[in-house]
Structure 1
Amino acid sequence: MKELKDTQNERDDRRLPIDRVGVKGLRFPVEVSDKGGSVQRTVATVSLAVDLPAHFKGTHMSRFVEALHAHGGCLDVRTIASLPRELLRKLDARKAHIEFQFPFFLSKAAPVTGKQGLLDYEVRFEVEAEEGKPTDFIVTVFVPVATLCPCSKAISDRGAHNQRGIVTYSIRSTEPIWIEDLIALVERSASCELYSILKRPDEKAVTERAYDNPVFVEDLVRNVASRSNAHESITWYRVEAENFESIHNHNAYAVIEKH
Structure 2
Amino acid sequence: MNKIESHITDTMPSKDERHKLFGSVPPGPKTKPVEKDQMADLQNSRQDFLFDLDVVGINNVKHPITIESSMKPSTQTTIGTFTFSSSIAKGSKGTNMSRFTEQLTSYYEQGFTVTIESLKQFAEELAGRLKREDAFIKVEFPWFFEREGPSSGLAGMNHADAFISVTWSKAGGFDIQTGLTGKITTLCPCSKEISEYSAHNQRGNVSMAVTLTEDFNEDMVDWKEVLLEAAESNASARIHPVLKRPDEKMVTEQAYENPRFVEDMVRLVAADLYETPFIHAFEVSCRNEESIHLHDALASLRFDKRTDER
Q: TM-score, normalised by structure 2?
A: 0.80
Q: Deviations over 1:6-34 (max 9, x none)?
A: 21111353411211111111112222111
Partners of 2:212 and 2:46 in 1: CA distance: 41
Q: Is the 8 A contact 1:146 1:163 kept in 2?
A: yes
Q: How many residues align?
A: 259
What's the % identity of the aligned pairs? Answer: 34
Report matched runs for 1:131-170 at 5 Å. Answer: 131-170=170-209
Is residue 107 of structure 1 aligned with residue 146 of structure 2?
Answer: yes
Q: CA deviation at 1:194?
A: 0.3
Report matched runs for 1:90-239 at 5 Å. Answer: 90-174=129-213, 175=216, 176=218, 177-178=221-222, 179-239=224-284
Relative to its length, the structure with more strand (as a share) is 1
Partners of 2:276 and 2:46 in 1: CA distance: 50
Q: Is the 8 A contact 1:20 1:49 kept in 2?
A: yes
- Of 30-39 and 155-164, more deviation after overlay is shown by 30-39
Partners of 1:159 and 1:214 in 2: CA distance: 12
Q: TM-score, normalised by structure 1?
A: 0.95
Q: Is the 8 A contact 1:217 1:252 kept in 2?
A: yes
Partners of 1:189 and 1:81 in 2: CA distance: 32
- Of 35-44 and 86-95, more deviation after overlay is shown by 35-44
1:65 maps to 101
Is residue 75 of structure 1 aligned with residue 120 of structure 2?
Answer: no
Partners of 1:5 and 1:57 in 2: CA distance: 13
Q: Is the 8 A contact 1:29 1:75 kept in 2?
A: no
Is residue 87 of structure 1 aligned with residue 126 of structure 2?
Answer: yes
Is residue 33 of structure 1 aligned with residue 58 of structure 2?
Answer: no
What amino acid maps onto 2:139 in structure 1?
A: F
Partners of 1:39 and 1:255 in 2: CA distance: 32
Partners of 2:164 and 2:276 in 1: CA distance: 20
Q: Is the 8 A contact 2:71 2:225 kept in 1?
A: no
Partners of 1:251 and 1:12 in 2: CA distance: 50
Higher relative contact order (CA closer than 8 Å, sequence separation 6+): 1
Q: Is the 8 A contact 1:50 1:95 kept in 2?
A: yes
Structure with greater Cα Rg: 2
Q: Is the 8 A contact 2:124 2:168 kept in 1?
A: yes
Q: Is the 8 A contact 2:71 2:145 kept in 1?
A: no
2:293 maps to 248
Partners of 1:236 and 1:57 in 2: CA distance: 35
2:86 maps to 50
Tell me, which stretches of 5 or more residues in structure 2 are unaligned? 1-34, 305-310
Q: Deviations over 1:64-115 (max 9, x none)?
A: 1112122233422132222111121111223211110111111100011111
